[in-house]
A = this chain, B = another copy of it.
């Protein structure tokens, strides 16, 4: 028997002042497939033009894939105030592009994203990359920014459908190479 279609489309974004990863998944809260993934690279452009480019390219992803919801990592701390100010501006550009595209925005803490995808809140970057590859049956290992964005999208997908106990069971420990 064929499986029912995955009706919910989620855009995950990992904003940065140089690289902004994005990932689009279709999900029913338990099963998810990757629709698109990539990275908006603006490091070679002058500031503040970078913000306009981030806004445009995220707006283009929203226009092309029409996600129902957007999930972004909730930044609670940063290295210092200067770094926070830069990433804050990139984040503002990303959120505005989503909000202007009519997408509902959700925020998740970095710890809850790692917990949802890897099964531990202290996961390393390579564990997130590996688990995203396994959970979405990707043919290749996604880059760090793409993997983080897809992990945020998966975190939102999991929060929609899978009970806490089942989520904890599907952990890094089950899939590590």
Chain A positions within 8 Å of B, measured between CB atoms, are 48-49, 51-52, 55, 75-93, 95-97, 99-100, 105, 107
Most chain B CB atoms below 10 A, which of A80, A81, A87: A81
Task: Check A77–B81 contact: CB distance below 8 A.
Answer: yes
Contact of A81 among B48, B80, B91 (CB under 8 A): B80
| Inter-chain pairs besides A51-B96, A85-B85, A88-B88, 6 sampled, C-beta below 8 Å | A48-B99, A52-B95, A75-B85, A78-B84, A78-B85, A85-B88
CA distance A150 to B45 in the complex (A): 29
Task: Check A96–B92 contact: CB distance below 8 A.
Answer: yes
A contact patch SS: helix
Copies per complex of this chain: 2
CA distance A57 to B55 in the complex (A): 17
Shortest A69–chain B CB gap in Å is: 13
Contact of A95 among B77, B89, B95 (CB under 8 A): B89
Which residues of B have CB within 8 Å of A90? Answer: 92
CB nearest to A75 among chain B residues:
B85
CA distance A80 to B93 in the complex (A): 21
CA distance A50 to B127 in the complex (A): 35
Task: Check A85–B84 contact: CB distance below 8 A.
Answer: yes
Contact of A82 among B77, B91, B107 (CB under 8 A): B77
CA distance A100 to B51 in the complex (A): 10
Task: Check A100–B48 contact: CB distance below 8 A.
Answer: no
Which residues of B have CB within 8 Å of A77? Answer: 81-82
12 A-B contacts, Cβ less than 8 Å apart? A49-B99, A51-B92, A52-B99, A52-B100, A78-B85, A81-B81, A82-B84, A87-B88, A88-B88, A88-B92, A89-B92, A96-B96
